[in-house]
Amino acid sequence: MSYDLYLSRSETGETIELAEKHQLRGGTYAVGGTTEAHLNVTWNYGRHFARVLGVSGIRTIYGLAGAESIPVLEKAIGELGDDATDNYWDATEGNAARALRDLVALAKLAPEDVWAGD
């Protein structure tokens, strides 16, 4: 199971297409990159998200513009440990923080657009 998080146009709900490809990798990813403002994140990190983002976990950013989400995500990153592993699926705080840093990177590319997901 996983979260599919994406930045979308508030008027249409369509996922944003970025001007250039990104290579951000989550539970799934596009070989060669993608222009979609999308990241798939494993539910394995859910308990860490709930601890640092509140009961709604990663869904806390749903409905926020990219720019609005950046300080929320950066605060959460600061509360997580740095025990990232080479195994994406390991439910470590460091791996959860890495996923949040990727979301910050997307938010910076589409600051006016709105987070949605699931």
Domain of 102, in residue numbers: 2-117
Helix (H/G/I), strand (E/B), else coil: 72: helix
Measured between alpha carbons, how far is 49 from 28 in angstroms, rounded to an integer?
Answer: 19
Token pair listed for 86: 């080479």
> What b/e sequence results for 56-74 when a residue is b if at least 16 CB atoms lie within 10 Å of its CB, and e otherwise?
ebbbbbeebbbeebbebbe
Measured between alpha carbons, how far is 27 from 4 in angstroms, rounded to an integer?
Answer: 9
Q: Report pTM.
A: 0.94
Q: Give the pLDDT of residue 118.
A: 87
pLDDT tens digit sequence for 40-89: 999 999 999 999 999 999 999 999 999 999 999 999 999 999 999 999 99
Query: How many domains does the chain fold into?
Result: 1
Q: What percent of the chain has pLDDT over 70?
A: 100
Helix (H/G/I), strand (E/B), else coil: 18: strand
